Structure 1
Amino acid sequence: MNQPPIALITGAATGIGRATADLLAARGTTVLIGARDPHRGERAAAAIRATGGHAHALTLDVTDAATVHAAASWIDDRFGRLDVLVNNAAITGSGHAAPQDARDRAPSSVDVDLVRAVFDTNVFAVITVTNTMLPLLRRSAAARIVNLSSHSASLTMTAQVDGPLSGLTSAAYSPSKTALNALTLQYANELRKDGILVNAAAPGYVDTAINGHTGVLTPAQGAAIVVRLATLGHDGPTGAFHSQEGPLPW
C-alpha cells in the first residue's frame, strides 16, 4: 500500500507556508508545520487536522541548528523519511532584524548588519535545513525540494531599466533571493543523479505579514506554484525558476 507523502514546510504557521501546508494536506500529504513559536505552529496543525488532514507541529527556528537537528531526529523516529522539503521561512530585514529601525534600502545607505541577518535566514539557513534533511530525503522514492524565491531575485528583470523592478531598491532581501536561486541551481546539479528535484518558486506579491499585508494575491494563490513544484512527477524539471504563470528568467 502506498504511504502518503511527508512534507516539511519551514515558516509554516502563517502566510504562504501555512497555505502550502493547507493545500498539500488537502492532497493527502502529511504536513509538518515548522514554526519558531510552538503555540502558533500547533494552532496551524490543529486547524488542518480539524478539516480531516494529517499535520504535526515542529518547533523549528531555521537559524538555530539545534532545533533543525531536533526536527530531523523527530521525523526520522516517526516516519523514517522525508518526501518534500519547502524552504519557506524568510525575512525582509525591515522591522524583522536588529537594529529594529533599520530598513532594506539602496546599498549605499543600508545597514550591513541587517544584510547579514537577512542572508542568515534566507540563504545560510536554507543550507543548514537542506543538508540536515538530505539523509531523510534520500530515503524517499520521489524527493522534492522547493525554495521560496521572488520575482525580485531575477537579475534579468532587475537589469531592465524600464522594467517592473526598475524602481525597487533592495540591498538585502532581493540579493538574498538571487543568492538563493544560485544555491537552488547548485543543489539541483548535485542531486540530479539521485532523482531529487530542486526548484525555486516565485509566489508573486502575496498579502502576508512580511510585506505589511500590502500584497494583491492571497496566500493560497501564492502557494499554488509551490505545491505544483512540490508534487512534480519523475519527468518534472529540476534547477528551474517558476511562477504560477510559468518559467522566469534568472
Structure 2
Amino acid sequence: MEFVDTPGVALVTGAAKGIGRGIANALAAAGTNTIIFADNDENGARAPAAVSKKFATAENYQSFGWLVDLADQDGVEISIDYLVNGAVDVAQHTSIPGIADYDCVQSINTRGTLLVTQAVVNVMEKQEPRTFKSLTGFERELGRGCIVNVVSTLSFTAVPAKVAYIASKHAVLSITKATAQDIAPYFIHCSAICPRWVCTSMYVAELQIRIRYCIYTISECAIWAPPVADFIKAAVPLSRPIGPEEVGDSVMYLCSPASSYVNRAGLPMHAGIV
C-alpha cells in the first residue's frame, strides 16, 4: 500500500455530478477497488460510474451507479469501507426561506448525512482494523474505516440569502465533530472538508444571481451584492473557484494512510480568503 493509496470499497453520495463526481474520480485514481456512485438520480449516476474506469488504477476496478434516496431511511443500508457524504441540496436565494424549502434542504443535507453515516458505522464497527507500515518500518493503525463529510466554509460563517443552506452546513460540521468522538473507540475516523466556491453547475447558476439585501442604517438603504465572479476575483488570492478534482484530492488524503493521525477535523479550502 502506498502512502496515499485508498484500497477498498467506497460509497460516494451525490456522485452523479459536481463535487461528488470529482471525489469519486480522485478515489478511483488513488487505487480504490470498488466505488459506488450513489445519487437520487440513478441514470445520472451510471454514466460517471462508467467514465471513472479510465481514471482507475486498481486491477479489476468496479464501479456502480446506485439509486440512494437520502430522505428515506430504508434506502441507505449498504456495506462500505470509505464513506463520502457529498450529496447537497440548496434552497432558493431568500432571506427567510419558507418552511417547506427549509425542511427539504435539511432532509438531504443534514438528515440524509446522519442516516447514511448511521448505516455505514453499523457496518464499519464490525470490520477488521487495517494497518500501514511506513518507510521507517513504523506500523500505524488505520482503523476500521473512514468517513468524510463535504460541508463548506459557510459552516463557519454566513452570507445573505442562504439561511437554509448555511444552517444545514453548520449542522453537518457539528455532526462530523460529535460523530468522530462517538466512533473513535471503534477506530473509525470522521472528518470534513470545507470548500468555498466549487466550479460545478450550482456555481454556474449562482453566477447568474445578484442578491439584494438590506443594511439597516438611519436611512434603511438597500444594497446589491456584487456578482459572484467579480467578488471571487477580488477576494480570493487565486482569483478562481475550486475545481471538483481539487476537492477530491483532499478527500483522497483524508481517506489515505497519509492522514492516519487526522480525526474530527474540518479542513477549510478557500485559498486563503480573508
TM-score norm. by structure 1 comes to 0.78
Spell out, residue by residue over 1:141-185, the C-alpha distance to the aligned partner (whole angstroms, 9 max, x if none): 23110111100110xxx3xxxxxx5x5342100111001111111
Q: Counterpart of 2:29 in structure 1: which amino acid?
A: A
- SS of 2:107's equivalent in the other structure is helix
Structure 1 residues 196, 115: CA separation in 2 closer, same or farther (over 3 Å shift)?
A: same
How far is the alpha carbon of 1:66 from its aligned partner?
Answer: 2.7
Q: CA RMSD in A?
A: 2.6
Q: Could you say which residue in structure 2 is the equivalent of 1:186?
A: 178
TM-score norm. by structure 2 comes to 0.72
Larger radius of gyration: 2
The answer to whether the 8 A contact 2:190-2:264 is kept is yes
Q: What is the aligned counterpart of 1:224 among 245, 249, 258?
A: 249
Distance of 2:146 and 2:67 partners within structure 1: 22
- SS of 2:75's equivalent in the other structure is helix
5 Å-filtered alignment, 1:1-250, equals 4-29=7-32, 30-52=34-56, 53-69=61-77, 72=78, 75=79, 82-93=80-91, 103-106=92-95, 109-138=96-125, 139=127, 141=129, 142=143, 143-154=145-156, 158=157, 167-211=159-203, 212=205, 214=207, 216-233=241-258, 235-244=260-269
Distance of 2:269 and 2:99 partners within structure 1: 33
How far is the alpha carbon of 1:51 from its aligned partner?
Answer: 4.5
Residues matched between the structures, number: 217
Structure 1 residues 232, 149: CA separation in 2 closer, same or farther (over 3 Å shift)?
A: farther
More strand per residue: 2
How far is the alpha carbon of 1:67 from its aligned partner?
Answer: 2.2
How far is the alpha carbon of 1:213 from its aligned partner?
Answer: 6.5
Distance of 1:213 and 1:222 partners within structure 2: 19
How far is the alpha carbon of 1:246 from its aligned partner?
Answer: 9.4
Distance of 2:165 and 2:67 partners within structure 1: 25
Distance of 1:111 and 1:137 partners within structure 2: 38
- SS of 2:195's equivalent in the other structure is coil
- SS of 2:154's equivalent in the other structure is helix
| Seq. identity, % | 26
- SS of 1:202's equivalent in the other structure is strand
Gaps of 5+ in 2: 130-142, 208-228, 230-240
Gaps of 5+ in 1: 76-81, 94-102, 159-164
